[in-house]
Amino acid sequence: MNWFDNSKLFDLARRGLRLTHIAAVIPLSLIFIIVGQFGIIPVIAALALIYGPDAVLQNTYAANMSNTLAGLWMGLQLIFSYLLLYVILWAWLKWYEKRPFWTMGYEWKNALMQYGRGFLLGALTFGGAVGILAALGALSFEQGAPAKQGLLALPGVLAVLIGWVVQGGGEEIIMRGWVLPVIGARYKPWLGLLISSLIFSALHGMNSGVSALALFNIALFGAFAGLYAMREGSLWGISAFHSVWNWVQGNFFGFLVSGQNAAGGSLIRLSAHGADWLTGGEFGPEGGLAVTIVLVVGILLVLFWKKGKDLEVANDSDVISADNETAV
């Protein structure tokens, strides 16, 4: 497990003039995320102008809206909720740490392969949790509005996917692209992994339907995501994994995503029934034991799967190609 202590993510973080102190990383990560959320203001203002302030405040503006339009609006909300975060991190790296944005794990080499692999693995992993629930008899098909389900919902479902790509990448770039490598490179890798996972879990603490198991699972996802990124030495794969995990959960199977409804419809709609500790209850499957199982299996595979050396695409300490100077 040489990749754990010597991940290329740490080499990339050390390319800057300085590494942010741990006492600043923790509060700054929260500040960056909170301030980044203000990017949604133009979208909310547009909704209020078109549909009225009361409809926005009461969240009823989508009631009589076409599914495609609802998907477009949700996609825009996801994009603008995280777009500013990218800008904030770019500015911090440029003017404080003195390193380019791509050193957060976005080198161009193997990017397409890593992103595609992460997308596939994310879909399959969440599908594994659904399979566990189905095997235990905890799922049933639910018939929703025809325009919001199946092929008729496809335009809205795809519109939301674009938003999930930005949202998933945004959460990864702050947690596994900045918090984990900065702390791991300056102090210890395990400390970066632990703190980034705990912060990630804490950020979901106010979500609807949250439980102790839900928070544990979110921290577990953070640990899996951190290990995946460390072993691959890149952020492309885990960004795709995170994005498709949310999209498949909410807009393919029709579940709640961390306690939130996903607008834009779903290709199929499943209803989970049974004990909350298994299904996740009002938090969605992420709050249940089925997701715990697939995440534990995922962590073990990343740690010990010897044939997974292709994940270690860029973990040696080579001199980084000059081509990356024009990267993201």
pLDDT tens for each residue of 18-48: 999 999 999 999 999 999 999 999 999 999 9
pLDDT tens for each residue of 81-92: 999 999 999 999
62-71, 128-137, 162-171, 214-223 — which is least confidently predicted? 62-71
Task: Name the residue among 180, 306, 284, 171 with its Cα closest to residue 238.
Answer: 171
Both structure tokens of 51: 């549909």
Mean pLDDT confidence for 233-253? 97
150, with CB counted inside 10 A (0-12, 13-18, 19+), is: middle
The H or E element that residue 140 is part of is strand 139-141
pLDDT band at 307 (very low <50, low <70, confident <90, very high): low
pLDDT of residue 311: 55
DSSP assignment, residue 149? B
pLDDT of residue 320: 44
pLDDT of residue 176: 98
